Amino acid sequence: KPVCFFRWDGYAYLDAFDAFNNTLSRPSPPPPTPPPLPPPLTPPRPPSLGGKRIATRAIVGIVVSAVTFVVLLALGLVIWKRSYKPIKDIQTEYADDDMTSPQSLQYDFETIEVATDKFSRSNKLGQGGFGEVYKGILPNDTEIAVKRLSRNSGQGAQEFKNEVVIVAKLQHKNLVRLHGFCLERDEQILVYEFVPNKSLDYFLFDPTKKSQLDWKRRYNIIEGITRGLLYLHQDSRLTIIHRDIKASNILLDAD
């Protein structure tokens, strides 16, 4: 059976419930301080007017430069096309000149054959890759040099005539003059003025004859060569570049 005991004293219990009462009467602590709010976002600064002006100027400069380049390129092409003439057009222009036409330069084959005594060996002056060269005398006693071109040159008749007319217009004292041509019987023949002293190699490489070429004559030969080349390259109506300079192509006159 349960038993209960009660205990008491004749004096008061001092401060028995003070701790409990203090706990009930103590004010509650203040709530925690909320974290500070983040600073407001700064809106981006609008681009300055100076930056816009610089970008605009750069774009305008690029566009203007591109347009200028295209215009200059187109202008250059137009000028080039107007000034450019194909070789065939130049040859035709010279060939149609009334001063010198193919008909005025043409010899018949019988005249050339008689002048060279039917291309006899006694009249033969030399031979090269282009063909053979003969001495001839025309009915008016004019001495000529006849160059009989090789038949396998592959050059057409009209092209041959045009080139003959061009060469015939090259008039200079240091160039051998072309009198005319013959284009018959599948032959291509050039008729030049006759130069009596043959070519430079005839003297230059001969142990005996080279003694005739003293320094004064050598200087005259060199001067004549340079004058002739200068005329071909700069002073003639049609610029011609001579790409086969050698002693056998330098003909010596009586001087």
Query: Which CATH number fits the domain that encloses residue 132?
Result: 3.30.200.20
Amino acid at 27: P
Query: 14 in a domain, yes or no?
Result: no
Say how far apart CA 113 and CA 118 lie, in whole Å. Answer: 5
Residues 161 and 102 sit within 8 Å (Cβ to Cβ)? yes
Q: Pick the residue with more confidence: 152 or 165?
A: 165
pLDDT (mean) for 119-140 = 88
Same domain, 147 and 90: yes
- Domain of 251 in residue numbering reads as 196-255
Q: Pick the residue with more confidence: 108 or 71?
A: 108
Lowest-confidence pick of 63-72, 96-105, 107-116: 96-105
Say how far apart CA 106 and CA 98 lie, in whole Å. Answer: 14
For residue 158 the two structure tokens come to 């009209």
This prediction has a pTM of 0.55
Residues 170 and 179 sit within 8 Å (Cβ to Cβ)? no
Q: pLDDT category, 54, cuts 50, 70, 90? A: low
Q: pLDDT category, 252, cuts 50, 70, 90? A: confident
What is the β-pairing status of strands 131-137 and 124-128? antiparallel
Q: Under 8 Å CB-to-CB from 100, ≥6 apart: which residues?
A: 94, 165, 168, 169
DSSP code at position 215: H
Same domain, 156 and 235: no
Same domain, 173 and 202: no
Same domain, 131 and 108: yes
Q: State pLDDT tens for residues 174-203.
A: 888 888 889 888 888 999 999 888 889 889
Q: How many domains does the chain have?
A: 2
Same domain, 222 and 121: no
Same domain, 201 and 173: no
pLDDT of the residue at 31: 64
Query: 47 in a domain, yes or no?
Result: no
Q: pLDDT category, 41, cuts 50, 70, 90? A: low
Say how far apart CA 57 and CA 28 lie, in whole Å. Answer: 71
Q: Pick the residue with more confidence: 98 or 242?
A: 242
| Single residue among 194, 212, 246 that ends a domain in this structure | 194
84: phi then psi, degrees, rounded to nearest 5:
-80, 135
For residue 102 the two structure tokens come to 């193919």
Same domain, 91 and 188: yes
**Strand positions, DSSP E, the chain:** 124-128, 131-137, 143-149, 178-182, 189-193
Say how far apart CA 87 and CA 101 lie, in whole Å. Answer: 18
DSSP code at position 11: S
| Binding-site annotation, residues for ATP | 147
Q: What is the mean pLDDT of the chain?
A: 76
Same domain, 157 and 202: no
Say how far apart CA 90 and CA 34 lie, in whole Å. Answer: 99
pLDDT of the residue at 93: 47
Q: 206, 244, 253, 255: which one is catalytic?
A: 244
pLDDT of the residue at 149: 85
Q: Is residue 88 predicted with pLDDT exceeding 60? A: no
Same domain, 203 and 124: no
Q: pLDDT category, 143, cuts 50, 70, 90? A: very high
Q: Is residue 18 predicted with pLDDT exceeding 60? A: no
| Single residue among 147, 179, 194 that ends a domain in this structure | 194
Query: 34 in a domain, yes or no?
Result: no
Query: 106 in a domain, yes or no?
Result: yes
| Single residue among 194, 227, 242 that ends a domain in this structure | 194
pLDDT (mean) for 74-95 = 60
Residue 89 bears catalytic tag: no
CA dihedral of residues 222, 227, 228, 232 (deg, nearest 10): 140
180: phi then psi, degrees, rounded to nearest 5:
175, -160
